[in-house]
Amino acid sequence: MFKKKRGREGAEIPSSSLADIAFLLLVFFLVVTTIDVDTGIGLVLPPPPDPEQPPPEVRERNMLKILMNAQGGILINEERANLRDVQERVIRFVTNRGVDPNLSDSPQQAVVSIKTDRQTEYERYIEMLDEVRGAYRIIWDQEARSRGFRDYAHYRTVEGEPNPVRREFPMNISLAEPDPGS
């Protein structure tokens, strides 16, 4: 019979390096982690057109037509305009409440329509969309202030109830299909 040569060594796994191993793993995950949330402009597309049902009629005065061509030129209701003017025009249009006969009847009925050419650059289009959204943001801020809040970001509604500011001033942006262009 072979004789056992040595006495058994301690059967424990040395755990002093455990913290180091965990540290290395931690550093690895720290480096690879990107906690980036996607930001952007969210919207809801209309459902596909139903050939049986014609699109809803919108009165001429309740529609602010913004056109952008391939060169970045802007027409608002067939008039030349600058990107800088858009915000002010949208605010005037939405908050008109039937005063000016050429502008909207009420904020609920007001629709801002943005139409581009197929060749219009995406960047220009996002700039325009951003301006229009900025206009609505100013309107909402004003409305929130009149309800005693600092601005719209601080505006709080009761959980589960529709937001009265948004109901009063719904952001109706219609994104028309682009023209084929030249």
Partner 1 sequence: MSHFKKKQASTSQEIPTTSMPDIIFILLIFFMVVTVLREVELLVRQDLTRAENIERIEEKRLVSYIYVGPLILPGGQYGDTRIQVDDALVDPNDLTAIQNVMRQRRTDEPRLIVSLRVDYESEMGIVSDIKQQLRFADALRINYSTRRAEGAVEM
Query: Which parts of this chain interact with partner 1 (CB under 8 A)?
Result: 18-19, 22-23, 25-26, 29-30, 32-35, 37-48, 116-123, 125-127, 129-130, 133-134, 136-137, 152-153, 175, 177-178
Closer residue to partner 1 (CB): 23 or 59: 23
Output the smallest distance, CB 111 to partner 1, in A.
18
Cα(first)–Cα(last) distance of the chain, in Å?
98
Closer residue to partner 1 (CB): 39 or 102: 39
What separation in angstroms does the CA of 93 have from each of 47, 115, 161?
26, 17, 28
Closer residue to partner 1 (CB): 9 or 123: 123
Output the smallest distance, CB 8 to partner 1, in A.
27
Output the smallest distance, CB 134 to partner 1, in A.
5
Give the separation between CA 98 and CA 54, rounded to whole angstroms. 26
Closer residue to partner 1 (CB): 33 or 102: 33
Pairing between β-strand 111-116 and β-strand 74-76 as defined by DSSP bridges? unpaired
- Amino acid, res. 138: I
Task: Give yes or no for a contact between 72 and 127, defined as CB atoms under 8 angstroms apart.
Answer: no
Output the smallest distance, CB 71 to partner 1, in A.
12
Output the smallest distance, CB 4 to partner 1, in A.
35
Closer residue to partner 1 (CB): 85 or 105: 85
Closest CA to 89 of 141, 152, 136, 42: 136
3-class secondary-structure state, position 86: helix
Kindly state the tokens that stand for 173. 């942006």
